[in-house]
Amino acid sequence: MKIFLRLVSSFVFLAFFSCSTPYSKLTQVSNVPFSVWQFKPQFEKELYRCVVDGRFLFKKFHLSGILLLKQFQDNSTRVVFQNEMGFTFFDFEWNQLDSFKVNQIIPQLDKPALIKLLEKDMNLFLMKGLNAHSEADFMANNESLYRFSLDKGFAYFIATKDTLKRIENVGKKKVITINIGEKKSPQSLPSSAIFIHHKANFTIKLKAIDEHVYE
């Protein structure tokens, strides 16, 4: 009987901590040495080779092509994903106030939940639509964590000194992790990025390419 009770107690203990928020034990700080806004990307045009891999039930899917990110002088932004032949998978736009709209999307991707997820990906990657008033700063394992409230959960921008390492959307568990590659400067777009969707079970891999290759 005692052995049974120990097993039950151990199970409850593990279940409790497996369901807890990944960042439940953080030390909040008031004066961090660096500002999260130094990482907000400033760019004119960037091209990435983009590969999307995933699984839905028993069916795998794969898309590859070129992801174009362009920022205009009026601070509006376009994100266009095309295959190598110029066929457009989707064309997204954000205006000066970060209001989002879909200019074009193929029927296979024209699903509200998927569009919302892709919008969230780009909002995190480009630091759009963040509520500055909700920012809270923390330290853990020699990393600075800048947290913002989202409609569901939080967005964490995680940096070591002046280097952004990753971005995470977290609820009760991790929803999205974006691993950030090397950057020429804090405000430049990274040379690579990997988007891991923990619940949706798919990944997006980006690798920067020379835009002159396709001119």
Q: Given this model, what pLDDT does residue 195 score?
A: 98
> Has residue 10 got a pLDDT over 60?
no
Confidence grade of residue 27 (pLDDT, cut at 50, 70, 90) = confident
Question: Residue 56: what pLDDT?
Answer: 59
Q: What's the pLDDT score for residue 179?
A: 98
Distances (CA, A) of 35 to 89, 105, 145, 189: 35, 36, 10, 17
| Model pLDDT for residues 155-190, shown as the tens digit of each residue | 999 999 889 999 999 988 999 999 999 999 999 999
Q: CB–CB of 144/137 below 8 Å? A: yes
- Which band of pLDDT confidence, cut at 50, 70 and 90, is reported for residue 149? very high
Kindly list the structural domains of the chain, giving each domain's residue range(s) and its CATH number in brackets, ordered by start: 22-214 (2.50.20)
Looking at per-residue confidence, does 20 or 32 come out higher?
32
- Split at pLDDT 50, 70, 90, the class of 104 is very high
pLDDT class for 146, splitting at 50, 70, 90? very high
Q: Region 29-57: what's the mean pLDDT? A: 85
Assign 3-class secondary structure to the chain: CHHHHHHHHHHHHHHHHHHCCCCCCCEECCCCCCCHHHHCCCCCEEEEEEEEEEEECCEEEEEEEEEEEEECCCCCEEEEEECCCCCEEEEEEECCCCCEEEEEECHHHCCHHHHHHHHHHHHHHHCCCCCHHHCEEEEECCEEEEEEECCCCEEEEEEECCEEEEEEEECCCEEEEEEECCCCCCCCCCCEEEEEECCCCEEEEEEECCHHHHC
Least confident of 18-27, 51-60, 160-169: 18-27
Query: Which residue do the tokens 């009026």 mark?
Result: 74
The C-alpha atoms of residue 15 and residue 147 are separated, in whole angstroms, by: 26
What tens digit of pLDDT does each residue of 68-89 get? 999 999 999 999 999 989 999 9
pLDDT at residue 2 in the model: 42
Residue 32 has pLDDT above 50, yes or no: yes
Q: Calculate what percentage of the chain has a pLDDT beyond 70.
A: 84
The pLDDT mean for the chain works out to 85
